């Protein structure tokens, strides 16, 4: 569960969901994204959350939350039953990276993935000065971070290429949530992708 109040990637994701579509949000936390998609976009939403506190908060928000561990894949979810499967700022916390991406595109027609870009210039600066980066999109100290994987926009796109995933759309945001068009791997703090097969 992240405490980020207004997530810039939520605006983008909301704009990609059409009324009545089925959305599965992986690592849904308290369900705030789903709540927004349901209320603003008329989506039919389900969430998966591991932590007890997140599950409890999501139930309180009226969300269809299913407690489960993404590391075990999406067993039980049927093939191609969701229009969008969302993994918002969570991919970097998952050990089985390729498996979860494959699973997302098994159960969904589209995978929506956002993650902090480790090669954002401020992160590079932090490492240059000898410290691990702490920023808006990487808000943890090295000793308490849930993040397991540190990767960049270029790294992620290389993996997509290797796995044969098609990038349908990419949006890159800076720390303020504004769109970045030039030098995204340097100027972008958060990347948001729509992926297909």
Applying CB under 8 A, among 12, 13, 58, 70 the residue interacting with other proteins is 58
CA distances 79 to 102, 127, 160, Å, are 11, 42, 20
Distance CA 42, CA 44 (A): 7
Residue 78 within binding range of other proteins, rule CB under 8 A: yes
Applying CB under 8 A, among 9, 29, 37, 46 the residue interacting with other proteins is 46
Residue 160 within binding range of other proteins, rule CB under 8 A: no
Binders of other proteins among residues 166 to 185 (CB under 8 A) are: none
Q: What are residue 146's DSSP bridge partners?
A: none
Q: What are residue 47's DSSP bridge partners?
A: 25, 65
Asked if residue 94 lies in contact with residue 100, where contact means CB atoms within 8 angstroms, the answer is: yes
In this structure, the chain runs to a length of 197
Residue 81 within binding range of other proteins, rule CB under 8 A: yes
Q: What sign does the CA torsion over 70, 35, 190, 144 have?
A: negative
Residue 76 within binding range of other proteins, rule CB under 8 A: yes
By beta-carbon proximity to other proteins, the closer residue of 17 and 165 is 17
Residue 35 within binding range of other proteins, rule CB under 8 A: no
Listed ranges 50-58, 91-99, 133-141, 145-153: which one lies at the site for other proteins (CB under 8 A): 50-58
- By the criterion CB under 8 A, which residues form the site for other proteins? 22, 44, 46, 52, 55-56, 58-60, 62-68, 76-78, 81
């Amino acid at each position: 569960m992240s405490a980020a109040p207004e997530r810039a990637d939520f605006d983008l994701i909301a704009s990609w969901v059409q009324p009545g579509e089925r959305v599965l949000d992986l690592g849904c936390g308290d369900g705030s994204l789903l709540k927004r998609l349901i209320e603003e976009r008329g989506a039919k939403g389900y969430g998966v959350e591991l932590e007890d506190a997140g599950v409890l908060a999501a139930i309180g928000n009226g969300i269809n939350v299913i407690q489960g561990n993404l590391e075990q894949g999406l067993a039980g979810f049927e093939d191609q039953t969701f229009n969008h499967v969302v993994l918002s700022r969570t991919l970097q916390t998952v050990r089985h990276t390729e498996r979860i991406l494959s699973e997302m595109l098994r159960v969904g027609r589209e995978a929506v993935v956002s993650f902090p870009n480790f090669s954002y210039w401020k992160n590079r600066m932090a490492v240059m000065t000898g410290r691990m980066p702490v920023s808006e999109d990487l808000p943890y100290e090295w000793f308490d971070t849930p993040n397991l994987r540190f990767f960049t926009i270029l790294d992620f796109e290389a993996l997509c290429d290797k796995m044969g995933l098609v990038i349908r759309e990419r949006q890159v945001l800076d720390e303020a949530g504004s769109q970045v068009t030039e030098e995204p791997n340097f100027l972008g703090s958060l990347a948001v992708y729509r992926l297909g097969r």
